[in-house]
Structure 1
Amino acid sequence: MTKPGQHVLSTLRQMIASGELQAGERVAEIPTAERLGVSRTPVRIAFRALEQEGLLEKLERRGYRVREVSAEEISGAVEVRGVLEGLAARQAAENGLSDEQRQGLRECLAQGDALFATGSITELDLEEYHSLNQRFHTLILEASKNPAIVSALSRNEHLPFASVNALAIDRNHLDQEYRRFNFAHMQHHAAFDAIDCGQGARAEAIMREHANATLRYADLFSQAPDNSIRVIGQDSENKTGK
């Protein structure tokens, strides 16, 4: 996905997490694109991605609608992800890293160090973090040499906020986001050190804890009046056309 597309997707996720969009609400592509100041294409792609993540449900006729999801569903999916990524880290430590994998992980850490060195962060920085975060986790999965883990994670990613890619950014509180993502980056450092030193049990524990950072979303949703996630959708009744 392009950077503009990723920006739209993360923006919509944050609108979901903040409760800005009402459960069951139908929202068309064109008004949404106008609201975000983008073309319809990234909005359409984002809708499809959110459906895959379990945040939208396809209507029988046309478009999408908000899907109600409980905090318990999110926390359960995140816990499963932590178990699977922890297993991947342990097996990567037991297998040993290739020179290419070690170099790739170190590059991710160096990129993150540069992003967080200033003591503050911008939206563009967080989009860059999203990319390096994806690569870091992918490299660990590759190092595990266990395709069953990849397959299981793929199935789990269809649940809300269970994917490592499903980052929501609070653009109104970037100081808080700096602390949250900087802490996650420090966990990357610790996970790499454990894997590179062949400390399987330690690597597994760190990655399981790392996944738990996502549970902040479950906490937010449990505080919502209707105890549900509010998700953007496309109005099947809207006659705006394609």
Structure 2
Amino acid sequence: MSKQTSSFPMVEVLEPGASQAVKAQLRLREMILAGELPSGARITELAIVEKLGVSRTPIREALMRLEQEGLLEALANGGYAVRTFSERDVSEAIELRGTLEGLSARLAAERGVATVVLNEARACLDQVDSVLRQPALDDDAFLRYVSLNQKFHNLLSEMAGSAVIARELDRVVNLPFASPSAFVVLQANSPQARDILIVAQDQHRQVLGAIEQREGSRAEAIMREHSRIAQRNLHATLQNHELGQMPGVRLIRKRN
């Protein structure tokens, strides 16, 4: 299987009318995670204007957004620097996602979910099953899994019917390495990769069943446990010397 170069396998699809600030934000994020702007590198508006050929106003807005995402930190003397994350930072971000997704699942179970949304979630999981039936997963299969996995997690968020939780979840999953699929593609070369995805898929089925049965506490517990798969993938990635040298992963500082 070919090597991947980022721990953010999701592909951003821009709407036709996407602003220059959004385009600059996505390009800068890509440059950071690809190692073009390494950890600790100082970034100035003028340098990025020259590099991307975009005016200062959208660049300024893009840099502010990336600071809010947590990829950049503002410097006291002006400009920004690419952040380095401790293993604890990433672990806590994943834990926070699991907590919010657990709350979302519990509320979905307690409040009930429209049949059309449940059917869409079941259809999504049927597609995941189809991907995982393959005895060996190639790059395309892993990327297909990532897309479907993201769709299912989005549907879980929708099921809660809470704009507040959805907003906070959206903020959390945009934290570096905290999205549901952040480490999936990096683990593609692992002999255990397909087994891990099968366990995750079983948890998907269990939480959907708990929501349908209106078992709020059980649904919450399953999603909290589900996030621990990402925790294991984080530790495995940092312990694997080859994967740990990939540009995006270099932003993470291992525990002493």
TM-score between both structures, scaled by the size of structure 2: 0.64
1:190 is the counterpart of 2:210: no
Tell me if the contact between 1:77 and 1:159 (Cα under 8 Å) persists in the aligned partners.
yes
Q: How does 1:183-222 map to 2 (within 5 A)?
A: 183-220=199-236
Larger RCO (CA within 8 A; separation ≥ 6): 1
2-side partners of 1:56 and 1:13: how far apart? Answer: 17
Return the match for 2:155 from 122, 129, 139.
Answer: 139
TM-score between both structures, scaled by the size of structure 1: 0.67
How far is the alpha carbon of 1:148 from its aligned partner? 1.0
How far is the alpha carbon of 1:192 from its aligned partner? 0.8
Compared CA separation, residues 221 and 57, structure 1 to 2 (3 A): farther
The list of structure 1 runs, each at least 4 consecutive aligned residues, that deviate by more than 4 angstroms after superposition, is 20-23, 48-53, 55-61, 220-225
Aligned residue number for residue 39 of structure 2 = 24
How far is the alpha carbon of 1:57 from its aligned partner? 6.1
How far is the alpha carbon of 1:11 from its aligned partner? 3.1
Counterpart AA for 2:182 = A
Consecutive unaligned residues of structure 2, counting only runs of 5 or more, are 10-33, 42-51, 53-62, 242-247
Q: How does 1:101-140 map to 2 (within 5 A)?
A: 101-140=117-156
RMSD: 3.9
Tell me if the contact between 2:102 and 2:220 (Cα under 8 Å) persists in the aligned partners.
yes
1-side partners of 2:143 and 2:173: how far apart? Answer: 20
1:230 is the counterpart of 2:224: no
Counterpart AA for 1:163 = S
Aligned residues: 199
Compared CA separation, residues 138 and 130, structure 1 to 2 (3 A): same
Which secondary structure state, in structure 1, belongs to the residue aligned with residue 175 of structure 2? coil
Compared CA separation, residues 71 and 118, structure 1 to 2 (3 A): same
Tell me if the contact between 1:86 and 1:206 (Cα under 8 Å) persists in the aligned partners.
yes
Aligned residue number for residue 98 of structure 1 = 114
Tell me if the contact between 1:23 and 1:66 (Cα under 8 Å) persists in the aligned partners.
yes
Return the match for 2:6 from 5, 12, 21.
Answer: 12
How far is the alpha carbon of 1:174 from its aligned partner? 4.7
> What fraction of aligned residue pairs are identical, expressed as a percent?
37
Aligned residue number for residue 75 of structure 1 = 91
Deviations 1:94-121 (A, max 9, x none): 1222121111111111001111112321
Counterpart AA for 1:219 = H
Which secondary structure state, in structure 1, belongs to the residue aligned with residue 88 of structure 2? helix
Aligned residue number for residue 178 of structure 1 = 194
How far is the alpha carbon of 1:229 from its aligned partner? 4.7
1-side partners of 2:131 and 2:240: how far apart? Answer: 33
Consecutive unaligned residues of structure 1, counting only runs of 5 or more, are 1-6, 27-39, 41-47, 233-242
Deviations 1:146-196 (A, max 9, x none): 111112122323432122253441366253221222211111011111111
Counterpart AA for 2:215 = Q
Compared CA separation, residues 208 and 78, structure 1 to 2 (3 A): same
Counterpart AA for 1:13 = S
2-side partners of 1:134 and 1:51: how far apart? Answer: 24
Counterpart AA for 1:24 = S
Q: Which moved more, 1:202-211 or 1:145-154?
A: 145-154
